Amino acid sequence: MAHYYRVGKKKYRKNGVWKELYFPVPVYKGVLNRDDIANILAERTTIKQADLAGALVGLSQIIEEKLHQGYKVNLEGIGIFSLSVTSDKGYEKASNVIPGRVKANKVCYKANQKLQKNLEFVKFERPRDK
């Protein structure tokens, strides 16, 4: 099954001259939530949907908890979750970078190497006009 895309236009100013360039933009079929994933897993395994949904809730809680504790979380076949940190500004002295000035900024995700490599096999199609 192919992944759809549409063509989007972006305007750029280069050397004082405006240019319009066209780029592919992904078109998604929808969003799968926890219950959707649990249903798909239940169809492919001998585990009940409710048990899988509960396990997925537990997984999300464990990921959050372990990120708070300073761990990276590696889900083999999926990828690594980690935190990035920031502060309101940079400081001239390292001693000024104190815990009260450090904030968790984002949850970062790095795809598993095999998952990333398999992107080369994604087929794309433009959807038919309605």
Per residue in 100-109, pLDDT tens?
A: 999 999 999 9
Domain assignment present for 2: no
Domain assignment present for 101: yes
Sign of the C-alpha dihedral computed for residues 116, 80, 98 and 94 taken in this order: negative
Q: Evaluate whether 52 touches 42 at the Cβ level (below 8 Å).
A: yes
User: What is d(CA 75, CA 79) in angstroms, rounded to the nearest whole number?
Assistant: 5
Q: For the segment 73-130, what is each residue's pLDDT rounded down to a tens digit? A: 999 999 999 999 999 999 999 999 999 999 999 999 999 999 999 999 999 999 887 6
Domain assignment present for 108: yes
Domain assignment present for 116: yes
Domain assignment present for 59: yes
Q: Residue 71 belongs to what domain range?
A: 32-125
Domain assignment present for 26: no
Domain assignment present for 66: yes
Domain assignment present for 5: no
Query: Tokens 């933009």 sit at which residue?
Result: 25
- Provide φ and ψ at 88, rounded to 5°: -65, -30
Q: Which of 85, 61, 91 is nearest to 73 (CA)?
A: 61
Domain count, the chain: 1
Q: Evaluate whether 125 touches 24 at the Cβ level (below 8 Å).
A: no
CATH code for position 90: 4.10.520.10
| pLDDT of residue 29 exceeding 70 | yes
Quote the pTM value: 0.80
